[in-house]
Amino acid sequence: MSEQGEKSNDVVDAQPTDTTDAKPMSGSSSAGIGVPKFQAVGGDGEPVISAEDFFADEYKMDYPHRGKAIIINNRTFDRQLGLGERTGTDQDAAALNMRFMEMGFDVDIYHNLVVRDMAIVLGKAAGDDSYNRSSDCFACAILSHGEEGIVFGTDAKIEVKVLLEPFKGNNCKGLLGKPKLFFIQACQGMQFDSGVGVNTSDAKGQMEMEREITVYKIPSEADFLIAYSVVPGYYSWRNSANGSWFVQALSDVLAKHWHDMDLLTIMTRVNKKVAYEFESKTGKEFMNQKKQIPCITSMLTKEVLFKPKK
């Protein structure tokens, strides 16, 4: 075959296109576990973000309000669930309430909510459009029993993604382009982490974009941070007197650095504190000397720096 004939079988001047690393989808999706889907689209018109703020490396943190912080503290559960009382969780709720208030949040605490009420509380917060448009961000702490990707209300379980749904960019325009921060103290499985021994030594080791464009798209899943107390598959530890390891560490690091350190650095310090400073002590030998490491899932697009409000 001639060279000309070979070329005729090639695709000439084809334009590159994007595709997904998955099989074709049917378009169906799950609404979640046992609760209605709550939408939270409030107000009229699209939110306006200045080009300067849109392209900045830090989130804008000079709105009139810091934002709403919701704490859901589930301590006791319906008997049929077979879940024990979460002693120590009230200490966690009190510590986070203090930290959030110091940081300038308007804090609401809810105790022992059924799953429907958990969804309603968060749906209403996402739908408070006028308040959200004048706020820096949103924060939520959920303190409960859990399984992988799931937290418990006092009556049943609910997927974490269902609780986050109202805050996505296509549902919550008031928080579009703003950080949505979720801190989840709950087990994610039934494995124990026994840890690995380490020997230490004294040795020390050593977009350009077109600014004139005025309409932009932001992924609806962007600007979330979900900090789980433990990695998927494992138990999360809680002390009956002092509260959970994760919230103790989070409260301590926030108290010292919320005003001078970005959030991802703060959460890395929290990971280190939980990993290095805590080890289980129980009356059951098979549960002793266990370790824990939190898990941070970040879809943030900028640095989160909580500058003190004037």
Output the CATH code of domain 66-192+220-310.
Answer: 3.40.50.1460
Range in 33-42, 89-98, 201-210 the model is least confident about: 33-42
Range in 3-17, 61-75, 166-180 the model is least confident about: 3-17
Looking at per-residue pLDDT, the higher value among 204 and 251 belongs to 251
Q: How many CB atoms lie within 10 A of CB 57?
A: 7
Q: How many CB atoms lie within 10 A of CB 118?
A: 25
pTM: 0.82
pLDDT tens column, 100-139? 999 999 999 999 999 999 999 999 999 999 999 999 999 9
Confidence (pLDDT) at 101: 98
Calpha distance 175→128 (Å, rounded)? 10
- Residue 141 predicted with pLDDT over 80: yes
pLDDT classification of 199: cutoffs 50, 70, 90: low
Ordered DSSP codes for 89-125: HHHHHHHHHHHHHHTT-EEEEEES--HHHHHHHHHHH
Residue 68's nearest CA partner among 94, 104, 93 is 104
Confidence (pLDDT) at 198: 58
Kindly state the tokens that stand for 225.
């941070």
Q: How many CA atoms lie within 13 A of 185 on its CB side?
A: 31
Confidence (pLDDT) at 54: 78
The number of helix segments (H) and strand segments (E) in the chain equals 8, 13
Residue-range domain boundaries for the chain: 66-192+220-310
pLDDT tens column, 254-295? 999 999 999 999 999 999 999 999 999 988 988 899 999 999
Active site residues: 145, 187
Name the strand (E) or helix (H) holding 182. Answer: strand 180-185
pLDDT classification of 51: cutoffs 50, 70, 90: confident
Q: Please, which residues bridge with residue 106 across strands?
A: 68
The C-alpha angle with vertex 261 and arms to 255 and 262, in degrees rounded to 5, equals 115
Buried b or exposed e, range 278-288, using 16+ CB within 10 angstroms: bebeeeeeeee
pLDDT tens column, 3-17? 343 444 444 455 665
Looking at per-residue pLDDT, the higher value among 17 and 193 belongs to 193
Query: Do residues 40 and 166 lie in contact, with contact meaning Cβ atoms separated by under 8 Å?
Result: yes
Query: Do residues 263 and 103 lie in contact, with contact meaning Cβ atoms separated by under 8 Å?
Result: no
Looking at per-residue pLDDT, the higher value among 89 and 216 belongs to 89
State how far Cα 186 lies from the chain centre: 13
- Residue 26 predicted with pLDDT over 90: no
12: helix, strand or coil: coil
Mean pLDDT of 175-204: 79
pLDDT classification of 218: cutoffs 50, 70, 90: confident
- Residue 190 predicted with pLDDT over 90: no
Query: Do residues 264 and 296 lie in contact, with contact meaning Cβ atoms separated by under 8 Å?
Result: yes
